[in-house]
Structure 1
Amino acid sequence: MPPKPFRNCKCPGCGKLTRDRYCEDHEHLIEKDKRDKWIQYDKTKRYNEDNKSYHAFYKSPQWIGMREAVKSRDLGLCVKCKSQNRLVPMDVVDHIIPIKDDWALRLNPENLQSLCHPCHNIKTARENANRKR
């Protein structure tokens, strides 16, 4: 595979050529760009007015205690994988019925399950696809 072509450094006023985004003198700006990207994401997506109550809930002592109780109940294993005779450690305590759909079920242990990241991602993708229909 041929090397990337040279181009100007992205730092304003720098005319050095580089194969990357920034020249060696301005490599430190890569981290700043990443931080700025996440700050912008937080402002527009993660912490907008609609989501404030959700984020406050996930930091509440009630949720933290319930999460630990569900983790103990499910023995720290993903319930979806366990149903397929695979023992996979859980990563997430998931709301079966999302709290965006029914806020009243947010602390109901019957509405909570332990999942590994792959199972949680599949479930969330299905929910998002159904929500768009």
Structure 2
Amino acid sequence: MTYLPGDRQAFDRNRDQQGWRKWYKTARWQKLRMSVLVRDLFTCQMSGCGRIEGDTSQLVADHRRPHRGDELLFWDERNLQCLCKPCHDGAKQRAERRSDI
């Protein structure tokens, strides 16, 4: 990624992201993700959806409140919910961009 002179904030933000992205590849995350999916009965928690999905590759353990690299929020099971991929990739992302979350 190339940065314009004076774009220190963007550089710092990108650098910080690189650290926490690797957390998603850990056995600890996989175990936590599955416990959230089981807790929520493989059911999308998005208001108005409620889709039950047996294919776990189509489900996301979503952070209710974006963690933005905050390790405590990232690993907090109470901050996680089961969402189907369409809700996560659509409505949830739009809400986060609007800062509704």
Give percent identity, aligned residues only. Answer: 33
Q: Tell which structure's C-alpha radius of gyration is larger.
A: 1
Unaligned runs of 5+ in 1: 1-43
CA RMSD of superposed structures (Å): 2.5
Pick 1 or 2: higher relative contact order, CA cutoff 8 A, min separation 6: 2
What TM-score, normalized to structure 1? 0.53
Runs of 4+ in 1 over 4 A off after TM superposition: none
Worse-matched range after superposition: 97-106 or 52-61: 97-106
Unaligned runs of 5+ in 2: 3-13
The answer as to 2:60 corresponding to 1:92 is yes
- 1:10 corresponds to: none
The residue type paired with residue 75 of structure 1 is L
Number of positions where the alignment pairs a residue of Structure 1 with one of Structure 2: 84
Distance 1:85 1:130 in 2: 21
User: Is the alpha carbon distance of 1:75 and 1:118 closer, same or farther for their aligned partners in structure 2, counting shifts above 3 Å?
Assistant: same
What TM-score, normalized to structure 2? 0.68
User: Is the alpha carbon distance of 1:64 and 1:54 closer, same or farther for their aligned partners in structure 2, counting shifts above 3 Å?
Assistant: same
